[in-house]
Structure 1
Amino acid sequence: MIMARIFNFSAGPAALPEAVLQQAADEMLDWHGSGTSVMEMSHRGKEFMGIAAQAEADLRELMAIPANYKVLFLQGGASAQFEMIPINLLRGKGAADYVHTGEWAKKAIKAAKAFGNVNVVASAEDKAFTYAPAQASWKLDKNAAYVHYTANETIGGVEFHWTPDTGDVPLVCDMSSNILSKPVDVSKFGLIYAGAQKNIGPAGLTIVIIRDDLVGHAQPTPPAMLDYKTHVDAESMYNTPPTYAIYIAGLVFQWLKKNGGVAAMERQNIAKANLLYDYLATTDFYRNPVRKEDRSRMNVPFTLKDAALDEEFLKGAKSRGMAQLKGHRSVGGMRASIYNAMPVAGVEALVAYMKEFAAQKG
């Protein structure tokens, strides 16, 4: 028996476009007449090198990445970048500036402290991480090695809808959960990084976009696997990369191009988020704690009026073909992750169910 596809609201690994999954299935045993699966290819063979090159070219086109930026396909998730960034970018300077907006920023700050001084230049802890601190409140150090912030807090549902201006100090951004959801000016950043398992592809791949003047100046020189220069010089092939994840990412990039690129994705993401937030504004049965102007388009946390109803809500959602709505264990409640691959119909189904449940239990 073949089960119908559900609406998967998982925060990550997250839903992938159905068309991408179908193409991958069609090509599983024989990629383009090669007689082999991509999973079986040598990462240094002509076929896979072509796949990787096309994936990079498509990502560069989608994000309008300038020529003086390198694109790396790495492993280790965003968590490995929490350490690689200070190892490579402190460059003998005394400290780096970090903005604290929630759980993922907290992890990045903790990791960086092992390699140098960290200045927490702004924090939303005073209001339980329910907003993005305005840049006017940031206490930036003009001599900092870099400024780091998390563009979208997956757990708390807080998103920056603006790009900070840090002058000559390199701006570093964790875009794991909102990359490719809207246009960004890459030239304003020194380094962008993102785990793939939300808007790009399967878990196991991490994208790093780094300005070339930041490569090769780490002090002291890091171990080879932790040195961006190693991976830049080897074009992400220093060791065996996550080949199948790169292939799937490439299919997602092609899907994005066919569907209007990131500008079209932003329009759809705004429409999806508005459907959910507009309903939340009409009811006191559900509550979203995030300041209105900082609400994430990707991850929408909400609580029920009575937490004792949580399990019943989840059970009812599952029976209607909606899964992975349980909130993160650190905050409880619910969380709907509505990345690029979530269709408008999925959000419409969720809102209809929320209305029905509130009418029954309210």
Structure 2
Amino acid sequence: MQEKTVYNFNAGPATLPKAVMLKAQEEFVNYRGCGYGIVEESHRAAPFEEIIQAAEANIRKLMGISADYDVLFLQGGASLQFAMVPMNLMVPGKKIAFCDTGEWAHKAMKEAKILGAGINLVYDGAKEKYSCIGDVSSWQFDQNDAYAHICSNNTIYGTAYNQYPDTGALPLIADMSSDIMSKVVDVNRFALIFAGAQKNMGPSGVTLVIMRKGLAERCPETVPTMLRFSTHIKAQSLYNTPSTFSIYMVRLVTDWMLEQGGVPAIQKLNETKAAKLYAAIDESGFFRGTCAKADRSKMNVCFRIGEGNEELEKKFVSESKAAGMIGLKGHRAVGGLRASIYNAMPMAGIDALVAFMKAFAAKNG
């Protein structure tokens, strides 16, 4: 029976490199000759210790992370970081600067408010229905704030920062869940970066935190032990049982990324993939991009049919699925269509989608 090719355009959990999936399959019941699977192994045992250390070393190499930063593998997804970051880094009497470019930045701001933080809203994207980010060089940051928070890529609305704001001496915190390691980033510009793994790094279940040394010392004594960054720094991400299989998969994915030529090579391919798909939208006269061209995400391509023909969009989702392309329905908050084209999406998937779009437009236009 011939294997059916299916391209996964889901926003997360998302597509993984096929070579990685096959490697995990090969090792699943007998990890490197030990006679049992790594998913069964103790997180204190030597085989897993090698895995977590290799995963960290790979990430440091891929992102150019210096010894000035700690690298942590935590749980709870980016959503837990929305609370954990202010719990650890709030300063009494100081506000937190937020740049609200969409759902995830907005949710992070909501958590900070629950914890009693005052908010300096530097940018309010809601005024433009999150369709743009604009010129970040004009944004003004109060150096007396505790820190500034951004979400680097907006999965729901399809926008992304093409340049990061200059916050001066104010620590900059970035949620990079949906574009981590998709492009070259100067980590030294950030005080803390966090990202759920389930888009570019592996399966769900593990959250990467990259944190400038010394920052964790801000944490007040009232924060529970498990929710302190310092706890996990001291224990090297092994304070409690971590998501061992997810970390194993991160190790395999980052091995694969290094084999592809690292982040610079992956960025080049991502730019080519995105350009090809946006060109198909813009040149069609049938599909329409939903956000400002200057702020378009290279990870999450959001589009509509006409001004929002919901019946045709439902038909597009149904027929694309039958043609071997899943996950093209837009987020429930905005509707429409969305193709998430993370690092592991091959060019063949883009070509298949573009060909389908052209045929669909010809048939239904």
The verdict on a shared fold, with TM-score over 0.5 as the criterion, is yes
Q: Distance in 1 between matches of 2:2 and 2:177?
A: 32
Amino acid at match of 2:101: T
The structural deviation recorded for 1:2 is 7.4
1:251 aligns with 2:271: no
Alignment of 1:1-362 (within 5 A): 3-115=3-115, 116-305=117-306, 306-362=309-365
Whether contact under 8 Å (1:63, 1:183) holds in the other structure is yes
Whether contact under 8 Å (1:149, 1:172) holds in the other structure is yes
Whether contact under 8 Å (1:122, 1:133) holds in the other structure is no
The structural deviation recorded for 1:137 is 3.6
The structural deviation recorded for 1:320 is 1.2
Amino acid at match of 2:258: K
Q: Distance in 2 between matches of 1:93 and 1:112?
A: 14
Whether contact under 8 Å (2:137, 2:166) holds in the other structure is no
Q: Distance in 2 between matches of 1:217 and 1:350?
A: 48
Whether contact under 8 Å (1:72, 1:236) holds in the other structure is yes
The residue matched to 1:108 in structure 2 has which SS? helix
The residue matched to 1:55 in structure 2 has which SS? helix
The alignment's C-alpha RMSD in Å is 1.2
The residue matched to 1:61 in structure 2 has which SS? helix
The residue matched to 1:181 in structure 2 has which SS? coil
Q: Distance in 1 between matches of 2:147 and 2:266?
A: 30
The structural deviation recorded for 1:206 is 0.2
Q: Distance in 2 between matches of 1:92 and 1:233?
A: 25
Q: Distance in 2 between matches of 1:186 and 1:92?
A: 27
The structural deviation recorded for 1:143 is 0.5
Q: Distance in 2 between matches of 1:3 and 1:216?
A: 53
Q: Distance in 2 between matches of 1:312 and 1:100?
A: 33
Moved more, 72-81 or 212-221: 212-221
TM-score normalised per structure 2: 0.97
Amino acid at match of 1:349: A
What's the CA shift string for 1:260-294, capped at 9, x where partnerless? 00000100000000001111111221111211111
Q: Distance in 2 between matches of 1:135 and 1:251?
A: 36
Whether contact under 8 Å (1:92, 1:219) holds in the other structure is no
Q: Distance in 2 between matches of 1:30 and 1:165?
A: 49
Q: Distance in 1 between matches of 2:156 and 2:357?
A: 20
Amino acid at match of 2:78: A
Q: Distance in 2 between matches of 1:300 and 1:54?
A: 33
Amino acid at match of 2:111: A
TM-score normalised per structure 1: 0.98
The structural deviation recorded for 1:216 is 2.2
Amino acid at match of 1:222: V
* Unpaired segments ≥5 residues, structure 1: none
The structural deviation recorded for 1:250 is 0.3
The residue matched to 1:32 in structure 2 has which SS? helix
Q: Distance in 1 between matches of 2:42 and 2:174?
A: 32
* Unpaired segments ≥5 residues, structure 2: none
How many residues are matched?
Answer: 362
Amino acid at match of 2:212: R
The structural deviation recorded for 1:307 is 2.0
Amino acid at match of 2:361: A
Moved more, 282-291 or 37-46: 282-291
What's the CA shift string for 1:17-52, capped at 9, x where partnerless? 000000000001111111110100000111101110
Whether contact under 8 Å (1:124, 1:133) holds in the other structure is no
Whether contact under 8 Å (2:147, 2:171) holds in the other structure is yes
